[in-house]
Amino acid sequence: MLLERLEKLEQRFQEIEQELLQVGDDYKRAAALAKERSELEPIVTKAREYRKALEQLEEARTILEEEDDPELKELARAEIDELEARIAALEREIKRLLLPKDPRDEKNVIMEIRAGAGGEEAALFAADLFRMYSRYAERKGWDVEVLSEHPTGLDGYKEIIFLIKGKGAFSRLKYESGVHRVQRVPVTESQGRIHTSTATVAVLAEVEDVDIEIPEKDLKIEVFKAGGPGGQHVQKNATAVRITHLPTGIVVQCQDQRSLTQNKKRAMQILRARLYEMERRRREEEMAAQRKSQVGMGERAEKIRTYNFPQSRVTDHRLQKSVYNLPEVLDGDLDVFIDDLILRDETERLAALEAQEAPSPKAP
């Protein structure tokens, strides 16, 4: 079954190479073909290695069965052991490459961080998380753009919404959704007692106009003067915007730009992402009800990570993994968790795929 599937993919790969030679000046078609080719190439490369290893295994088994020379038989046995291990590894790698791709993986990310339990300390922690993700984006060569923010008096945030633009941003940051918890002595605490505070992180894929259509009749748009620190910074004109999506009740407000057009554009950007995510979750829940099980994607709104300052410890509760380099993690060194979360996700999905493909046991 696996070989048949690989043969079809290899055939398609060869068809694409022929089409690329004949595509001419149709640059749009050429780009689409080149993208498909780049997606297939890793699978085809592994498929060819796999087929060659199977042929070598067959040859080694033939030698073992037909040769009388003890030395040749011993060499054949050693080669069979080596090839069987290699074939098993190639099968795992090929199945991993064949796993369905998340269509959101190449999209930019809209992240929403909100202070949870803990008052001002939670707001300060929200600011720490924003800096952590900004530093992570910087390490990856991605751009960060603040879309909306509600700061507090002590440099914290009640809420901050920002866009991270970069190739594959969603594929890595999607595992950060959930409740983040901090344990430390707050700057506002005179007794030196450790407090526990929380902040929530939501990770949404940026959605283009073509991805989701929102009829004008479904929107209530209100315009008002933006609030500010006073003096020359107070807007004299109504440039802030509040958009309510009437069917769902979702409300988005933006006032950080001096232009009404820019604030409206950003508010619609956030609204589209939230509606897209709501629809995606609805479909997933329907599928889960049908098949009674679902592989997680690290997006559950549960406590996912704890940042313990006294012990300089960061614990990811999904992985049951702790590291003792909290300053480095808060400075954006997140791959220590994200790499393992990606591996866990792939392992779970691969196990689910293999369970589906396994033949049903025959009734006695």
Structural domain contains residue 359: no
Residues 161 and 70 reside in one and the same domain: no
Classify residue 278: in a domain, yes or no.
Answer: yes
With a CB cutoff of 8 Å and minimum separation 6, the contacts of 188 are 120, 121, 154
**Quick one: pLDDT at residue 228?**
52
Q: Minimal CA–CA distance to 87: which of 98, 75, 79, 97?
A: 79
pLDDT in tens, 90-124: 988 888 888 878 878 888 999 999 999 888 999 99
Helices 2-22 & 27-66, crossing angle to 10 degrees? 140
What is the CATH number for 277? 3.30.70.1660
Position 339 pLDDT exceeds 90:
yes
| CA neighbor of 276 nearest in space, from 211, 363, 199, 358 | 211
Task: Tell me whether residue 40 is in a domain.
Answer: yes
Q: What is the pLDDT of residues 59-71, one digit of tens each?
A: 999 988 887 888 8
For residues 164 and 337, give the distance between their C-alpha atoms in angstroms, rounded to a whole number: 19
- CA-CA distance, 109 to 164, in Å (whole number)? 5
For residue 103 the two structure tokens come to 């269509």
Query: Alpha-carbon torsion 45, 48, 50, 56, what sign?
Result: negative
Nearest to 174 by CA among 79, 299, 333: 299
End residue of a domain, out of 98, 118, 144: 98
- Residue 354 belongs to a domain: no
Residue 360 lies in a domain: no
pTM for this predicted structure: 0.69
The pLDDT value recorded for residue 255 is 85
pLDDT of residue 242: 92
Q: What is the pLDDT of residues 13-31, one digit of tens each?
A: 999 999 988 888 888 888 8
The number of domains in the chain is 2
Domain region containing 305: 109-349
Same domain, 85 and 121: no
Please indicate, yes or no, if residue 103 is contained in any of the structural domains.
Answer: no
Asked whether residue 198 falls in the same domain as residue 245, the answer is yes
> Across residues 312-334, what is the average pLDDT?
96
- Residues 24 and 141 reside in one and the same domain: no
